[in-house]
Amino acid sequence: MSTTNYAVLNTGQKMPLIGLGTWKSAPGEVKTAVENALKIGYRHVDCAAVYNNEAEIGDLFKEIIGVDKMVKREELFVTSKLWNTKHHPEDVEPACRKSLEDLKLTYLDLYLIHWPYAFKKGDSCFPKNPDGTMQYDNIDYKETWKAMERLVEKGLVKAIGLSNFNSQQINDVIAAATIKPAALQVECHPYLAQNELIGHCQKYGIIVTAYSPLGSSDRMWKAADEPVLLEDANIKTIANEHGKSPAQVLLRWQVQRGVVAIPKSVNAARIAQNLQVFDFALTEDEMKTVGNLNRNWRYIVPKIVVDNKSVFRDALHPHYPFNDPY
């Protein structure tokens, strides 16, 4: 049984296979959640400017990171992300520096372009038209990437990557890149297995990170009739076989195929449970059973209400990634 608990990026960095996600972790909760995680052995924290909680996480980092403190900086892997309103090249470095200032860090281990499409530049994270639709910008993400490369050259970040890009968009970036993407972060779980996209990334030495690996049942736009991944009968059966929880089976499936997973929780017991996936392995048949649950079901597609109808918020943007098969 492989107990290796990290993936190796194309930079040589070791990225822990299980990290703590912080999306939707409310101010007041997130500091305690990250502290609990680090106390029990997590060494990977996934952040983003738009989560609006980096300053609180930074308060904790200031308290516990240091030569003679709980965690040495070089032992911790921290990711952050460039938001959609900061895609213009001149905005990239200031946005990165703002995240560093909030997180009380001198460098990031990994910095991602959060989405391939841009919103209108400015200080509002979600600039909207009077009818509720988003105000977009058509800046090319390849220009944004060039500015990301400069962050590596300046020592502000150790590695750069992408989030929510499809295979063609990844190819576009690679073709224009001096520094190749080290990682891709996408929604990924057994109902959205992402096999083709993972295969594509492996071909180029890009590590894949799965966000919402447990199905993200606490989203704002959750539909009443959507399938609940944690209640899937096949997952429950496998969990019972191993004396593990359904969540642990979902996470084991990811790490066993070399995919990094960043489950979010603010519950201390679940945070601990989510890390306990290196003391068992799924059989080949169990891996197949879980893999066969794929139904290309996306939980994370932002929606807004226009003319009293719920619509995919960004589907008409030319850089919207989910119109292609993968």
Active-site residue list: 51
Distance of CA 229 to the CA centre of its chain: 18
From the list 67, 164, 43, 158, the residue with the least C-alpha distance to 114 is: 164
114, 271, 12, 51: CA torsion to nearest 10: 20
Spell out the residues 6+ positions from residue 85 whose beta carbon is closer than 8 angstroms to its own: 91, 118, 119, 120, 121, 122, 123, 124, 125, 127
Angle at 92 between CA 88 and CA 94, to 5 degrees: 125
From the list 45, 111, 41, the residue with the least C-alpha distance to 264 is: 45
Measured N-to-C along each axis, helices 89-103 and 141-153 cross at an angle, to the nearest 10 degrees, of 50
